[in-house]
Structure 1
Amino acid sequence: MARRGAYAKGLAKREEILEAALRVVAEHGYRKASVREIADAVELSPAGLLHYFGSKEELFVAILAARDARDEDRVVSEDIVEGLLEIVGRNTAVPGLVQLYAQLAAEAADPEHPARAFFAHRTARLEGYAIAELEAAQRAGRIRSDLDPAWIIRSVHAMADGLQTAWLIDREIDMAADLRRFIALLEPAPAQNPAPGDAG
């Protein structure tokens, strides 16, 4: 029983750390958010904080995972496109987390980096879910049926990630609006009514 209680307390402390880390990174960005600053926010030493995660890199991967879970919990729309646009629009309020995502996405190219497994799993999970939703949208006539759903989601995913990087450089970019324009290109062309005199 004591071991179970200690485990529950450890999980609670880990959640407390992640909540504090989300705030610190959102406010200060990836490079300025030190392990010491996050540790101070939860009254731990840096070594005590890393006891819960193993390394600084694994801590930052856990922060991204916590951000994803929070975003998914907050999505109001049941439509996959509107849900994505909702998250992208919300990201403009947390540039530090956008910076963290972009940085770790680049570092995940290294097979040995802890972020590699996180991004591989994240991509497989999101794309698996999104492809099923897109296939349903194609059957309903909301998305062009001549397009491969896997290609669509890869393209939207790549555009969303690229827009985040561009937005970090130029905050005038409207990421959600640009994504909406691209997604509109995937919709079937409106049916053309025949001009008077064309029929018969």
Structure 2
Amino acid sequence: MTERSSARKRGPYAQGRQSRELVLDTALAVIGRQGFGATSLKDIAEEVGMTQAGLLHHFQTKENLLTEVLRRRDVVNQQMDAPHEAHYPRAVYIAHESMKVPGLLHLYVNLEAAASDPKHPSHRYFLERDAAVHANVARDIEARQGEGRFDPRIDPQVFARILIALFDGLQAEIAIDPRIDLPGTLEALWDMFASPAESAGTDGAESQGATTTSAAANEVR
């Protein structure tokens, strides 16, 4: 096989992959802008410049497309800058971002509920995602415990499960009442078990700032 013929064979695949990624990025944007309930396949297809048939050529079904949209969102979240040295875990930073895009939050909640059926196309995605997120959170807690930054009496596996359950449960509540503070609630739970030294450092910085502000105010007086 010549190099030219090999390139020809790769061409359509590369183009198909590009089109697929364009659809996913566009779907993320449209759902984020219009909301999950108000977005149809037709809306996404028109935004991309495809027919609905062309859209389904890449994903076969609407459920597959929506599952891949969430997978794409996971990739974006993984690229988020949440260093290990940060006081809160990555989940809290993701919660802050989720609150900014309620359309995607509604998509997640609706698809997760449907995926409770083992035959649903999204079932495997949620199983695998849950296992990966649980492992990442547990590893983060273990690392912090080793550095004296998290209560050593806590079982990382159990706490990771509690944190994820709280995250998912609150997302379902927010779909009904958007006034609920998802990141604030996660932060409150985390602060209960963050090491006293780390919490004191955070509080100390705030206290020092308040003292400085008070002193400056007294000087003005």
TM-score normalised over the length of structure 2: 0.81
Q: 2:22 aligns with which of 16, 27, 39?
A: 16
Structure 1 residue 75: Cα displacement: 2.7
Indicate whether 1:32 and 2:38 are aligned.
Answer: yes
Indicate whether 1:94 and 2:98 are aligned.
Answer: no
Alignment of 1:47-58 (within 5 A): 47-58=53-64
Structure 1 residue 128: Cα displacement: 1.6
Structure 1 residue 76: Cα displacement: 4.1
Report the aligned-residue RMSD.
1.6
Structure 1 residue 170: Cα displacement: 2.0
Indicate whether 1:128 and 2:166 are aligned.
Answer: no
Indicate whether 1:71 and 2:73 are aligned.
Answer: no
Could you say which residue in structure 2 is the equivalent of 1:184?
191
Q: 1:143 aligns with which of 127, 144, 150?
A: 150
Aligned residues: 190
Query: Which structure dedicates a bigger proportion of its chain to helix?
Result: 2
What whole-Å deviation, never above 9, does each CA across 1:125-182 have from its counterpart, x for those lacking one? 1212222221111222222222211111110001111111222222222211111001
Unaligned stretches of 5+ residues in structure 1: 191-200
Check the 8 A contact 2:109/2:175 in 1, yes or no. no
Computing the radius of gyration over CA atoms, which structure comes out larger, 1 or 2? Answer: 2
Could you say which residue in structure 1 is the equivalent of 2:11?
5
User: Percent sequence identity over matched residues?
Assistant: 33
Q: 1:60 aligns with which of 66, 70, 84?
A: 66
Looking at structure 2, the residues matched to 77 and 147 of structure 1 have their Cα atoms a distance apart, in angstroms, of 22
> Does the residue aligned with 1:144 lie in a helix, a strand or coil?
coil
Deviant stretches of 4+, over 6 Å = none
What whole-Å deviation, never above 9, does each CA across 1:9-37 have from its counterpart, x for those lacking one? 00100111011100111122222211111
TM-score normalised over the length of structure 1: 0.89
Could you say which residue in structure 2 is the equivalent of 1:193?
none
Looking at structure 2, the residues matched to 19 and 183 of structure 1 have their Cα atoms a distance apart, in angstroms, of 33
**26-35 or 109-118, which moves further after superposition?**
26-35
Structure 1 residue 188: Cα displacement: 4.4
Q: 2:48 aligns with which of 42, 48, 53?
A: 42
- Please tell me the residue identity of whatever aligns with 2:97: R
Check the 8 A contact 2:32/2:102 in 1, yes or no. yes
- Please tell me the residue identity of whatever aligns with 2:60: G
